[in-house]
């Protein structure tokens, strides 16, 4: 089952990246600034991992550290959506490109969330592998 | 009919068990970061200072309010911190004062600086107002939407 999930997640990730690239590379558009949202995608899991590592030993259901991590993760997600909108408002990119980039964002973030749901469950998630 | 508002006391009804803190953090995060993107938007479109006054007090207010946990103000926590319970209360008081002050100042800027003077572009004033309003409500949600019982 997890093999199927992996294949499906990689497919949706590819679709998301395709939307993003279409938003940049189509002949009508041709502007590559929206690729900067990839930075937001890459750093979005980081607060979660930092909080998980910091509160590894505690049994509490929640903690200030975890909640701060959720706060920052939300910020990164909102920023990834806000950045193309601002680019479109100053006419650096066209609104059509903005729409494609936003769609790509949504799919990629759903993929990342899917990764966490499917593969994040293990209790023997040991950090020595890093 | 007389008792129908009794069921609406929201301090008890928003307790969806363990998820409450997560949802509050996410909601506060959305409000806060949207406010910042509104300001970035206004700053990008109107880069000069006379059209748009770049000031960020509300952020400091938010940080101050949320730096002090509820437990410290009530005096429950084991460690006193460097200022003690009274210090925590004063800090929270100043933080809330800054928050309310920023909200009122943003309304003042919107109405006094933009609407009353009938400036051609009202959008920076509206942006400042919404930024402050969102940060204010985001701060409130972050502070009061989470319960510290889940931290035990």
Per-residue pLDDT reduced to its tens digit, A63-76: 777 888 888 999 99
Give alpha helix (H) positions in B6-83: 10-13, 20-45, 57-67, 70-74
- Tell me the average pLDDT across A23-48: 84
Candidates A58, A61, A89: best to mutate against B (most CBs of B within 10 A) is: A61
For chain B, what is the largest distance between any 2 Cα atoms, rounded to a whole number of angstroms?
A: 56
pLDDT for B69 beyond 70: no
Q: Between residues 29 and 48 of chain A, which touch chain B (CB distance below 8 Å)?
A: none
Place of tokens 């926590």: B77
- Tell me the average pLDDT across A96-107: 90
ipTM of the complex: 0.77
Q: Which of B140, B139, B40, B32 is nearest to A75 (CA)?
A: B32
The pLDDT score that the predictor gives to residue B16 is: 59
Report the C-alpha gap between B34 and B41 in whole angstroms: 10
pTM over 0.95: no
Helix/strand/coil for B112: helix
Determine contact, residues A82/B34, Cβ cutoff 8 Å.
yes
Determine contact, residues B146/A67, Cβ cutoff 8 Å.
yes
**Residue contact B151–A60, C-beta within 8 A:** yes
**Residue contact B30–A60, C-beta within 8 A:** no
pLDDT for A123 beyond 50: no
**How many helices (DSSP H) and strands (DSSP E) are in chain A?**
5, 0
């Amino acid at each position: 089952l997890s093999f199927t999930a992996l294949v499906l997640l990689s497919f949706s990730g590819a679709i998301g990246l395709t939307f993003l690239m279409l938003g940049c590379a189509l002949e009508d558009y041709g502007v590559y600034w929206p690729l900067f949202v990839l930075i937001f995608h890459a750093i979005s899991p980081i607060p979660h991992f930092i909080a998980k590592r910091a509160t590894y030993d505690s049994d509490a259901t929640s903690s200030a550290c975890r909640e701060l991590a959720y706060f920052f993760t939300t910020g990164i997600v909102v920023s990834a959506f806000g950045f193309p909108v601002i680019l479109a408002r100053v006419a650096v990119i066209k609104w059509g490109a903005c729409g494609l980039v936003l769609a790509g964002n949504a799919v990629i973030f759903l993929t990342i969330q899917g990764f966490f749901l499917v593969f994040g469950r293990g209790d023997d998630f040991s950090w020595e592998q890093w | 009919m007389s008792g129908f508002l009794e069921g609406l006391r929201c301090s008890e009804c928003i307790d969806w068990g363990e998820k409450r803190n997560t949802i509050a953090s996410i909601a506060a995060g959305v409000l806060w970061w949207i406010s910042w993107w509104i300001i970035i938007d206004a700053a990008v479109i109107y880069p000069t200072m006379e059209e748009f006054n770049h000031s960020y007090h509300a952020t400091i207010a938010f940080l101050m309010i949320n730096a002090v946990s509820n437990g410290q103000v009530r005096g429950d926590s084991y460690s006193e911190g460097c200022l003690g319970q009274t210090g925590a209360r004063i800090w929270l008081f100043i933080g809330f004062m800054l928050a309310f002050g920023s909200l009122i100042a943003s309304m003042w800027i919107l109405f006094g600086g933009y609407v009353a003077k009938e400036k051609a572009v009202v959008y920076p004033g509206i942006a400042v107002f919404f930024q402050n309003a969102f940060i204010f409500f985001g701060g409130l949600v972050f502070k009061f939407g989470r319960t510290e019982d889940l931290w035990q």
